[in-house]
Amino acid sequence: MITTVVAGNPKPGSRTLDAATKLVESLTGAAADHIVDVIELGPGLLGWGDEKIDAAVETVRSPDLLLKPVLVELGAVCPLPGLYLIDSTYTTDTRIADYTDRWASALRRV
C-alpha cells in the first residue's frame, strides 16, 4: 500500500505532521512512502509553474492511503471518525493504537 501524509500546519515539522506519520505507521506497520509538509513548499505556492509544487501535486495523486490532517469544520469528508489528540500526550498515550485497533480494518475497505 502506498501511503502519503500531507500536513498544512504553518510550523515546519509540526506535531500535526508527527501525529499523522505515527498514525500511518500504526495503521500500516510501515513509515509513510511520501510526506508533504506544505509549509516547506515555500513561495511557489503563490504562483504557477513551480516544479516543487507540481511534484507535490503528483505525489498526492497516487497513494492508496492519503492522510490529510484537516479540520472537519473546513468541509473535509472523512470515511472514519476523527482522531482527537492532545498535543502534550499523543506520543505517550495509547490513542493512536486504540484508534488503529478500532478502525484499521474499515479503512482498508475504503
10-49 pLDDT tens trace: 899 999 999 999 999 998 899 999 999 999 999 998 999 9
Instruction: In whole angstroms, give the CA distance from residue 62 to residue 76.
Output: 19
Coil, strand or helix: which one is 43? helix
> Are residues 36 and 60 in contact, defined by beta-carbon separation less than 8 angstroms?
yes
Looking at the structure of the chain, the number of domains it has is: 1
pLDDT at 38: 92
Domain that holds residue 59: 4-108
Q: How far apart are the first and last CA of the chain?
A: 13
With 60 as the cut, is the pLDDT of residue 84 above it?
A: yes
Percent of the chain with pLDDT over 90: 50
Q: What grid cell was written down for 15?
A: 506535531
User: Where does the pLDDT of residue 101 fall: very low under 50, low under 70, confident under 90, or very high at 90 and above?
Assistant: very high
